[in-house]
Structure 1
Amino acid sequence: MAGSKQIHLGLLVSTFFLLCWNPTPVRAEHSENAIEFEYKAGSKKGPELWGELKKEWKTCKDGKSQSPIDLRDGIATKVNSSLEHFKVSYNPAKAMIENEGPVIAIVWEGDAGSISINGTDYILRQCHWHSPSEHSINGKRYDLELHMVHRAKNNNVAVVGFLYKIGKPNPFLSEVTKEIASMTDVEKDVQLGVIDPRKMKAAQTGFQDAKKRKMRKASSKFYRYMGSLTTPPCTEGVTWTINKQVLSVSKSQVKLLQQVVFDYAMMNARPLQPLNGRDIKLHDSLFSSFRQ
């Protein structure tokens, strides 16, 4: 009789375990309420509707200086730059890598330095990637875009952007491949130790001399315009600096960045926004802002 009760109790426990156990993990992106906005056109939370999802996001719809935009040489005003226009002073500092859901981000915890734009200092806070690129140059969108986000004491934001096309692997992404892969579909962070922000624009190797000279010339040019954040709340007043030089990234590196973010953000680029008469300046500098 006691043995029969033990068997019966064991069957109940086993049945309860099977009913409660789900071999497929529940992923945050499958919960519609957990997703505040999406990138897919035509969806209920797509880019064209961001400004209607929350009253705090109305600038996404009503703003007249939104980002990203198409950077066209034909309408850009050429400027001969000096150090006052754009100066970079970065420092190696402790950082971590985060899967924030829509983007993979490097967040600096220590003093990683700053940039200076027309005499105003902006402290480096973090960087993250968008695929495909959000900005385009002369109508062409690229495979990846890196945003380095800075904030001044008055909370004004300045973003430095780099565009990438498929080619040789990006040296920095190669260094953190394992850490990125470890956070697939999970909102988590991993400590990286000390990271030098100048690695974000590490020179590619293996180019012929003529190509190197062309790249060095391109690397000293950058577009400058006033825009907005490219995600809700789409706050305006952001100073954008987009490097004209297009860097290299491997196909597998772009694919990894797309796979690890949540499903709704695999293609996490906001559509191009109207220029609305804004000035675009193309600075031709005699210095390399991101010298190693």
Structure 2
Amino acid sequence: MNEKNQLVINASHHNKRIDKVMSEELNDVSRAQIQNWIKSDHLLINQHSVKANYKCQSGDIVEWEVPEVTPLEAKAESMDLEIVYEDEDLLVVNKPKGMVVHPSAGHPAGTLVNGLLHHCQDLSGINGVIRPGIVHRIDRDTSGLLMVAKNDQAHQSLAEQLQNKTVKRSYIALVHGQIEHEYGTIDAPIGRDPKDRQRMAVISDGKEARTHFEVLERIKDEYTLVNCVLETGRTHQIRVHMKYIGFPLVGDPKYSIRKTLDMNGQALHAKTIGFYHPRTKEWLEFEAEPPVIFTETIEKIKL
């Protein structure tokens, strides 16, 4: 364990939550990490365990130690993966809703990478041992199609196509509200939300982000089914952009309205992916229908 650190709470932090105070004091540590330290008793106040919502009092002595980092290792796990396409250079997989793409501190196992390592041993190593073969990602609760590279040559080619914006990526999303116009383009830069580092937001100094959308169906006066085409691929791009124009995704726990539908995450599905084969240069395009929970939700709200 690393050496113990100490902080005395002053008047400016009086009656503030301890997790908020520490995230302000330690700029390079997220609030979520601090909450984990509190849960595991790596952070104490006056030598006692507390909860993350503890209100600090002037004079409190905070002591903490940074836990040793456990090296991550991606291990092969047997899974029933839906492989849409596969050859010697790459594969396209339909990731289920609820599955994380690659291991991380909070998800050391049960990820898509763990299943891919069991399915095939020859994955590109450009992104290291934790993300073998992973060229791009989609959120845990977003379902749909992903390209996976089996060798470094394929990885470089697919990554260049993403950078050059020649990869076709379209998603279907169910949003709150009725979009009146048939087509639209959202051109708004995205970066970390300065008020909440766990979220993304449209900010003036963010990275270029562009989403094109088309209305597929208006459902009563409350919902719209849209097709979204990514020109760029920023974190949470569709979720942030649709919220920005006033039509947040149904079921989105991070960016939607409070009275949203329970879909175990956002109603977003990566339906189509198209790209040039790294070796043959042939254009390949694949489609996958959304999961049952997506289609069943649409049928229910039509009743």
Q: Give the helix-richer structure, 1 or 2.
A: 1
Superposed pair shares fold, TM > 0.5: no
The TM-score with structure 1 as length reference comes to: 0.19
The TM-score with structure 2 as length reference comes to: 0.19
